[in-house]
Structure 1
Amino acid sequence: MQYPFTEEQLALADLTRDFMEREVAPVAAEMDRRTDPKDCYPGELLNKASHLGLRTMAVPEEHGGIGADTTTKALCLWTGAQIEIGVIKCLSQCWKVSNAIFKCGSEAVLEKWGKMFVEDHDCVGSFVITEPDYGSDNVYRQSDPAVGLKTSAVQDGDYFVLNGAKRFTSLTSWAKILLVFARTNPDVPLHQGTTCFLVHGDQEGVTYGNVHDKLGYRLYPNAESYYDNVRVHKDDILGEVDKGFQTFATVFRGSAELPACNTGIARGIYNFCLQHAKERIQGGKPIIEHQTIQHMLAEMLMNIEVAEQFMWRICWGVENDESYNTRFTRYGKVFSDQVALKTIAFATDILGGIGIMKETPTEKMMRDLLTFLHGDGTDSITLLRAAQTLDEPA
């Protein structure tokens, strides 16, 4: 691996790989095929991962974690994604939630919500933003106050009363900590009048709808949720009033999560294709000896390795470059999405019919890659977000 990882980072990657191979790989295919998406949630596996310290990896050392940085999280996510994406993505969600809580939380928040997250091995969280009528409008900055999420938060003394509906949000039905984004000032643009509230998953007034029946990432479920006069104390605000998207940016400004997911799965597909090419006999010899197959494997690996190197550049920039531009984050997502599609195209050619059979891991991996192309916004909206920074230096 041509990157200067520390011994601690490599040890954590080995721990992740061992856990994923030992605990997840033997059961992932069966869990993925369960008819009811509610039955795909890997709660027992996440509990086991938590006892190894993987769930709380991003928590600062003084609060019981190891304070994993961007590179460490990306390395572990990339490692796990080569084996099974759903479980490791659930853990990555925990890293994002704990990152937000411990970076943006007041002392009261850390004592209540931070302590709860660290001590409960079954505690996961959910960023609750997307609504039935508002998805891309929530991430693409626009000046019209009428645009964007409509969940409201009206102050009533020391409390805020939340009302609204959300959908497509990750781990929502199982989350003990909901980070609910609601409009506290509907008269200004979304990014100037939204607040992030910490809400108990079983709090009065919170109900849940469908768990979405997805093509892939089935071990990382998404669901609907509804908020009917949910009362949240002002001490349970994460960050500041009207500055919810600053809290959001703390987590997503320099994230390498999506490139790590895409390149990790793509690596898993490549590894299977390479082994298959060495074993499959056509034309009287292993197909890897045919130049056409060699060319496809070489181009597949070239695409993956270029995307990986840019991912590590993102990680380094977030941690070391004060002038880091968020469009690098956007590029990492879009480019790795494009690499994902090319990987699928090459794999279906190299593998032929066996590649889409449920008896092989590549069938699930291809579904997983296709499922998350819209993650953190479609590629089109992501490039529009990057275009808003064209005049800024790299």
Structure 2
Amino acid sequence: MTNDSAAHSLLEEEERDFQLVVRQFMEREVRPLVDEMERAGRPPQELLKKMGEQGILGCYAPEEYGGGGGSLMTRAIVAEETARVNAGLDATLFVNISLVTRHLIKRGTEEQKRRYLVPLIAGESSASICLTEPHGGSDALSPRTTARKDGDHWVINGSKTFITNAPIADVFMVFARTSGENRRARGGTCFLVERDTPGLSVGKPFDKLSLRSSPTAEVFLENVRVHENQVLGEVDEGFYYMLEGLDLERVFEGASNTGIAQACLEVAVEYAQDREVFGERLASYQMIQDKIARIATGVEMSRVMFYHLIRTLERGENCTRAAAVLKLYSSEAAVEASREAVQILGGYGLMEEYPAARLYRDAKHHEIGAGTSEIQKIIIARETLKSGGKAK
């Protein structure tokens, strides 16, 4: 990001310094491992530990648990800079740090924080959020996974699918219905289930189009018994926790989309400036300049909006409509950026040895994951109709 970006002024000096540190780490430590991670289908544990040691994972977490005590913006910076180099690694960190860690910070008991939060911040463990089920992803309030009380334990039965980090997770944050009716937030409970708990099993890693360095699989729970001290927060309140985190999840999707689009811009510009066609630099042709301008505009608009909404979240303000707008716009901008990057590179854009092909595959994920574009449009329309179309 250059100083002429409108987003530059939205960062504090310490945040800009941190951004430089993270960017340098990604170039030095992560970029050389990208091909290896894509082939292996997971990030190396040594890399996560190194990120923990450098304070990258726990940048915004409380210092008493090994975090840096920084702003939420520092975590957003990590998301953008990671996605710029490898979107799969960003997806793994997104679950570990943006979602699970934040839930533990906000609602975990002291024992839960020491047992699960500290290792996540140190890069010594990974986690999964088990929400999506085979019968439907967006209808999260109608899970078929249930839990019933049995003395001082809970017995969980059900299955989950498309679970990020499942093949490498040490702890699973499982959402199950414990009372109430489908499509009602009341009656959902969140459980912390350790990997070696009897009855919990993980399926074979999915062979995916995108985010190949982030492992994804099914999770099965058959009469899984967990002690009542493994409940995160309050019984029957878990779905409210999930709903509260949706705005943050969509804003961080904006950070990831911006990182992917920024990578596309860099790839396209470098190639266009180096490649000669009919005796002229490719960048001298107006059709190519049009593509570059459109990619750059998408990057700039996405970045400014997600920076603004991070500040909104830091103030504790609601941003449901704006977060959905960001998720929709930035994912479409990233897909367009990746498509145009492939087009600019021509035949080389179709070769897996060049990053454009990976960026093209990875960008598409964000129009589906964390709420499809169609769901975002429903949210935007619903919230706009509530306000009568008036600006708030």
TM-score by length of 2: 0.91
Q: Of residues 9, 15, 18 in structure 2, which corresponds to 1:12?
A: 18
Distance 1:234 1:135 in 2: 27
Q: Which residue of 1 aligns with 2:34?
A: 28
Q: Is residue 265–residue 341 contact of structure 2 (8 Å, CA) maintained in 1?
A: yes
5 Å-filtered alignment, 1:1-394, equals: 1=3, 2-34=8-40, 37=41, 40-95=42-97, 96-118=99-121, 121-138=123-140, 148-187=142-181, 189-255=183-249, 256-320=251-315, 322=317, 324-390=318-384, 391-392=386-387, 394=392
Displacement of 1:226 in angstroms is 0.8
Displacement of 1:321 in angstroms is 5.8
CA spacing shift, 1:374–1:189, aligned 2, 3 Å: same
Q: Which amino acid aligns with 1:100?
A: H
Displacement of 1:84 in angstroms is 1.4
Distance 1:186 1:382 in 2: 27
Q: Percent identity?
A: 32
Q: Which amino acid aligns with 1:224?
A: E
Distance 2:181 2:301 in 1: 44
CA spacing shift, 1:367–1:186, aligned 2, 3 Å: same
CA spacing shift, 1:218–1:283, aligned 2, 3 Å: same
CA spacing shift, 1:16–1:90, aligned 2, 3 Å: farther
Q: Is residue 160–residue 218 contact of structure 2 (8 Å, CA) maintained in 1?
A: yes
Q: Which amino acid aligns with 1:33?
A: R
Contiguous gaps of at least 5 residues in structure 1: 142-147
Q: Is residue 42–residue 219 contact of structure 1 (8 Å, CA) maintained in 2?
A: no
Distance 2:115 2:83 in 1: 32
CA spacing shift, 1:251–1:295, aligned 2, 3 Å: same
CA spacing shift, 1:329–1:381, aligned 2, 3 Å: same
Off by >6 Å, runs of 4+ in structure 1: none
CA spacing shift, 1:250–1:381, aligned 2, 3 Å: closer
Displacement of 1:111 in angstroms is 4.1
Displacement of 1:4 in angstroms is 3.1
CA-to-aligned-CA distance 1:98-129 (integer Å, 9 cap, x gap): 111010123343344334545x6321111111
TM-score by length of 1: 0.90
Distance 1:121 1:312 in 2: 26
Q: Is residue 338–residue 356 contact of structure 2 (8 Å, CA) maintained in 1?
A: no
Deviates more, 1:166-175 or 1:52-61: 52-61
Deviates more, 1:354-363 or 1:241-250: 241-250
Q: How many residues align?
A: 380
CA spacing shift, 1:117–1:363, aligned 2, 3 Å: closer
CA spacing shift, 1:115–1:321, aligned 2, 3 Å: closer
Question: SS of the counterpart of 1:168?
Answer: strand
CA spacing shift, 1:246–1:186, aligned 2, 3 Å: closer
